């Protein structure tokens, strides 16, 4: 009897110790609120009332479109909460059982997307359980995605807020859901693509929402910030996430959650979304009245429309006078660079279309033969400035030719191709030979062919795809590869006179000059 009592006591003690360890482990695996009381109210009732009030005041029209993803800011609620509420107000009445929240890492660097490896995220409103099965599957799909606490757990006394502040909005709009918390420590296009493609694969057919957490520009004067932020929002509206990613990486545009935005767009596109609806924009100057150094915020919904048709490229036009002005800028830029080794000053009276950020190529021919062709594929600079700079690069830096000499200048003819935003092809049948140009990208390999190439060469669609792959340094059939992204664009082409087809030199989107930088080969301006 005594032995049985001792044995029972040992078992009870062991069970108690195990329970304590499990309780401790469970506590360790719940990510506790880190910015409650600073970014948002710590008291549950006050927090619920604040969120409910902001959502009630958000004037968002009802939509019949399917909401695939949202973009929402993540600053303190007094500053960005009213903007974020415009995104979350769309969720009222919807049944969504899983939310993937993609946020940036502000304090910790790591070369992957960190999917939280714990059991739950907590806010003053309660715990949100992690969908651990989905999380494990997601982390298995790419070396750039890992189960980890990096970016989630406080690091060196600093706690990440970008994911946490989104949760109370979700808790007040959705009745019952699990979360997949992701913090991105890697901001490249490849990292965003890996995450976006993996998410689309796993989400397909489920009631899952994606939320990208991001603020916009930081600490510019009010008008400058508004202009910069609307360039970002416009690119989202045009669904040009390749240019968006590049301009974020080069810091031409700004969004601290740029990679999450791009990842969400890539996933949403593969899940059927084709339209981005900008719901609200504001910045801290609208709240505090201090317009000297503001932070921008945007709310956007990525939608699958009820009556979707083939994606149409937006049309861009120029008057005859505007076209001639750009040709004059190209000619004067080259002649001044060759003769005087300096860049021309642009006219002060440029029309609005020439001030818009646009990608463009300048083709130079001598006696009908190609003498240089260089361009920017994305919206890096105002169109007139882009034409000036790429004209100089085509004359002096096209590596296929020696630099243009002064004696050649009278024999040169110029052609300008103004590019539309880039959009990934969902079906190669969308390609219209002679109307669309192609940009093909697979990892670091990339190549572009302008629309006039295919028509002048007499290629059919398949040959055009194969030749673009070859231009990218890939096998001719690489356009069929699931890891190859094919983007199409239109081009407004004009020059004097019409000329044979050209194969442009590799564009310079990887490391183009930033606004205000000197043009290569010329002294600083």
Give the tokens for residue 285: 């100057």
**What is the DSSP secondary-structure string of 17-70?**
HHHHHHHHHHHHTEE--SSBTTTB-SSHHHHHHHHHHHHHH-------SEEEEE
* Phi, psi of 79, deg, nearest 5: -100, -50
CA distance 474 to 468: 9
Tell me what pLDDT residue 154 has. 86
Domain 30-304 annotated CATH 3.40.830.10: yes
Tell me the pLDDT of the chain (525 aa) as tens digits. 444 444 444 334 444 444 443 344 444 599 999 999 999 999 999 999 999 999 999 988 777 899 999 999 999 999 999 999 999 999 998 999 999 999 999 999 999 999 999 999 999 999 999 999 999 999 999 999 999 999 999 877 789 999 999 999 999 999 899 999 999 999 999 999 999 999 999 999 999 999 999 999 999 999 999 999 999 999 999 999 999 999 999 999 999 999 999 999 999 999 999 999 999 999 999 999 999 999 999 999 999 987 655 455 567 899 999 999 999 999 999 999 999 999 999 999 999 999 999 999 999 999 989 999 999 999 999 999 999 999 999 999 999 999 999 999 999 999 999 999 999 999 999 999 999 999 999 999 999 999 999 998 999 999 999 999 999 999 999 999 999 999 999 999 999 865 455 556 555 544 444 433 434 444 333
User: Could you tell me if 177 and 168 are in contact, meaning their C-beta atoms sit under 8 angstroms apart?
Assistant: no
Strand-pair partners of 447: 440
Give the tokens for residue 263: 């990842």
SS3 label, residue 374: strand
**The CATH classification of domain 320-495, taken from the options 3.30.700.20, 2.60.40.2700, 3.40.50.1110, 3.80.10.10:** 3.30.700.20
Residue with tokens 């130079």: 364
Task: Tell me which residue of 73, 38, 47 sits closest to 166, measured CA to CA.
Answer: 73
Tell me what pLDDT residue 228 has. 97
Angle at 336 between CA 402 and CA 349, to 5 degrees: 130
Tell me what pLDDT residue 313 has. 56
Task: Tell me which residue of 509, 515, 239 sits closest to 361, measured CA to CA.
Answer: 509
Question: Domain spans of the chain?
Answer: 30-304, 320-495
Tell me what pLDDT residue 160 has. 96
Give, rounded to a whole angstrom, the gap between the first and last alpha carbons of the chain: 97
pTM of the full structure: 0.88
CA distance 62 to 249: 35
Strands (E), 255-368: 275-283, 294-304, 359-366
CA distance 500 to 71: 45
CA distance 499 to 74: 52
CA distance 240 to 379: 10
User: Could you tell me if 448 and 437 are in contact, meaning their C-beta atoms sit under 8 angstroms apart?
Assistant: yes
SS3 assignment for 276-294: EEEEEEEEHHHHHCCCCCE
């Amino acid at each position: 009897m005594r032995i049985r009592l001792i044995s029972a006591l040992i078992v009870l003690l062991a069970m108690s110790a195990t329970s304590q360890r499990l309780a401790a482990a469970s506590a360790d695996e719940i990510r506790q609120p880190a910015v409650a009381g600073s970014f948002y109210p710590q008291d549950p009732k006050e927090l619920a009332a604040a969120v409910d009030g902001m959502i009630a005041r958000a004037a968002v029209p009802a939509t019949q479109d399917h909401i695939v993803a949202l973009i929402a800011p993540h600053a303190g609620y007094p500053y960005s909460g009213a903007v974020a509420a415009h995104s979350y107000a769309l969720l009222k009445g919807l049944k969504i059982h899983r939310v993937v929240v993609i946020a940036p890492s502000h304090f910790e660097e790591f070369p992957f997307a960190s999917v939280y490896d714990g059991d739950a995220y907590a806010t003053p409103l309660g715990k949100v359980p992690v969908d651990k099965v989905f999380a494990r599957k997601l982390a298995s799909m790419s070396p750039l995605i890992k189960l980890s606490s990096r970016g989630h757990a406080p690091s060196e006394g600093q706690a990440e807020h970008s994911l946490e502040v989104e949760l109370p909005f979700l808790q007040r709009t959705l009745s019952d859901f699990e979360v997949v918390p992701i913090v991105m420590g890697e901001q490249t296009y490849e990292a965003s693509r890996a995450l976006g493609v993996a998410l689309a694969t796993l989400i397909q057919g489920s009631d899952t929402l994606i939320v990208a957490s991001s603020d916009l520009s930081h600490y510019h004067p009010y008008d400058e910030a508004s202009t910069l932020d609307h360039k970002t929002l416009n690119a989202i509206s045009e669904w040009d996430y390749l240019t968006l990613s590049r301009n974020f990486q080069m810091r031409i545009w700004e969004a601290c959650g740029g990679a999450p935005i791009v990842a969400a767009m890539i996933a949403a596109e593969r899940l059927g979304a084709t339209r981005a609806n900008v719901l609200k924009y504001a910045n801290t100057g609208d709240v505090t009245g201090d317009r000297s150094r503001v932070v921008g915020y945007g709310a956007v919904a990525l939608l699958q429309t009820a009556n979707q048709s083939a994606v149409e490229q937006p049309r861009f036009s120029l008057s005859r006078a505007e076209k001639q002005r750009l040709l004059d800028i190209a000619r004067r830029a080259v002649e001044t660079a060759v003769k005087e080794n300096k860049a021309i000053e642009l006219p002060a009276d440029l029309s609005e279309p020439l001030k818009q950020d646009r990608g463009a190529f300048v083709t130079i021919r001598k006696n009908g033969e190609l003498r240089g062709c260089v361009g920017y594929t994305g919206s890096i600079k105002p169109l007139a400035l882009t034409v000036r700079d790429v004209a100089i690069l085509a004359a002096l830096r096209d590596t296929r030719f020696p630099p243009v000499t002064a004696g050649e200048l009278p024999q040169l003819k110029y052609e300008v191709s103004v590019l539309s935003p880039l959009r990934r092809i969902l079906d190669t049948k969308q390609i219209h030979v002679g109307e669309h140009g192609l940009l093909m990208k697979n990892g670091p390999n990339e190549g572009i062919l302008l629309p006039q190439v295919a028509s002048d060469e007499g290629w059919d669609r398949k040959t055009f795809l194969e030749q673009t792959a070859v231009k990218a340094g890939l096998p001719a059939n690489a356009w069929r590869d699931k890891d190859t992204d094919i983007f199409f664009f239109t081009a407004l082409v004009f020059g004097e006179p019409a000329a044979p087809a050209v194969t442009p030199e590799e564009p310079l989107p990887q490391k183009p000059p930033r606004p205000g930088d000197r043009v290569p080969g010329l002294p600083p301006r």
